[in-house]
Amino acid sequence: MFTIKTLNKIDERGLALFDRRYEINGEGEEDAILVRSAKMHDYVMPKSLLAIGRAGAGVNNIPVDQCAEKGVVVFNTPGANANAVKELVIAGILLSSRNIVGGIQWAQTLKGQEDVAKQVESGKGAFTGPEIEGKVLGVIGLGAIGVLVANAAASLGMEVYGYDPFISVDAAWGLSRAVHKAPSMEEVLAKADYVTVHVPLMEGTRKMINKESLGSMKDGVRILNFSRDALVDDEAMEEATASGKVSYYVTDFPNEKTIGMQNVIAIPHLGASTPESEVNCAIMAAQELKNYLEHGSIKNS
């Protein structure tokens, strides 16, 4: 008999609060934990702990080094929320192209039918934006999400260039035939009208969108970040949105800096927030944990 704590109660500091109702045998300390967004860095691991499962892709909320030292397996649920993120990235591409947010805000300022009749032509002119068909999308990172985004964008008529810092050009092309082979990130950035990043946050990827990489992009590029906040250097981005180098920055990570930027669309980490993806992640995490506890095998550690 194992004790598993599932949790998603978070206190006001974002720290994990456990709900002991979910213990299976009610005895001793937990053998495993399943978690979504709660920050686990202050969690004191009991000796009994064998595994922490993350119902999601990133494992930044889990102290992976400490787990490795203690022999605690950490696993995630890659791909389980990929469709949800893909759909929102495509929405972000369209939002940033057609000035939809500005248009909505403008329409909300209208007062009554007379105002609508008078103003609508000027609104129409003010929020014109380009179509995406034929435009180049650069996809940095061709994991489960990047590949789905690439395929969906190609089906909307975009020309897609993909690059993955961790796999070869041929392997990337094998994952998505919609993607033109690009030997380097520089080549993708130089061609792209839109750049979307889908890599994990690691030392090598932290602030990968920075002054230098922004400088190598086309003027007026649109950038999307639905992966991790720290992949983008906010100061460099602030400068680039203010100067018009970046015409829109769409981010799933509102923070002190991004909420004040010009030409930013910031939403509250909604990428994976669909009922379907929550169920998919929960099922995958539970299955992984069951396999590990029963058979010692793990796929996604």
Residue with Cβ nearer ligand MLT (3 or 225): 225
Residue of 101, 269, 286, 293 that binds ligand MLT (CB under 6 A) = 269
DSSP state of 209: B
Give the SS3 label for residue 159.
strand
* Contact flag: residue 146 with ligand MLT (CB under 6 A): no
Residues 6 or more apart whose CB falls under 8 angstroms from that of 90 comprise: 149, 152, 153, 156
Residue with Cβ nearer ligand MLT (198 or 218): 198
- Least distance (Å) between residue 114 CB and ligand MLT: 44
As given in the structure block, the two tokens for residue 209 are 């969108």
* Cα–Cα distance, 237 to 210 (Å, whole number): 7
- 196-235 mask for ligand MLT (x: CB under 6 A)? ----------------------------------------
Residue of 57, 67, 195, 237 that binds ligand MLT (CB under 6 A) = 57
Partners of residue 15 on adjacent β-strands: 39
* Cα–Cα distance, 134 to 156 (Å, whole number): 9
Residue with Cβ nearer ligand MLT (140 or 192): 140
As given in the structure block, the two tokens for residue 33 are 């934990």
* Contact flag: residue 37 with ligand MLT (CB under 6 A): yes
Stretch that binds ligand MLT, among 55-63, 102-110, 155-163, 291-299 (CB under 6 A): 55-63
Could you tell me how far CA 256 lies from the centroid of its own chain? 19
Give the SS3 label for residue 52.
strand
Q: Are 231 and 257 in contact (CB under 8 A)?
A: no
- Least distance (Å) between residue 277 CB and ligand MLT: 8
- Least distance (Å) between residue 56 CB and ligand MLT: 3
* Contact flag: residue 271 with ligand MLT (CB under 6 A): yes
* Contact flag: residue 58 with ligand MLT (CB under 6 A): yes
Stretch that binds ligand MLT, among 2-10, 99-107, 184-192, 264-272 (CB under 6 A): 264-272
* Cα–Cα distance, 160 to 181 (Å, whole number): 9
Q: Are 223 and 82 in contact (CB under 8 A)?
A: no
Residue with Cβ nearer ligand MLT (57 or 267): 57
* Contact flag: residue 130 with ligand MLT (CB under 6 A): no
Stretch that binds ligand MLT, among 18-26, 190-198, 231-239, 267-275 (CB under 6 A): 267-275
- Least distance (Å) between residue 92 CB and ligand MLT: 15
Q: Are 58 and 35 in contact (CB under 8 A)?
A: no
Q: Give the torsion through C-alpha atoms of 241, 189, 225, 211, to 10 deg.
A: -50
> What amino acid is encoded at 9 in this protein?
K
Residue with Cβ nearer ligand MLT (136 or 199): 199
CA distances from 168 to 141, 197, 198 (A): 11, 17, 16
Could you list the residues that contact ligand MLT (CB under 6 A)? 37, 56-58, 81, 269, 271-272
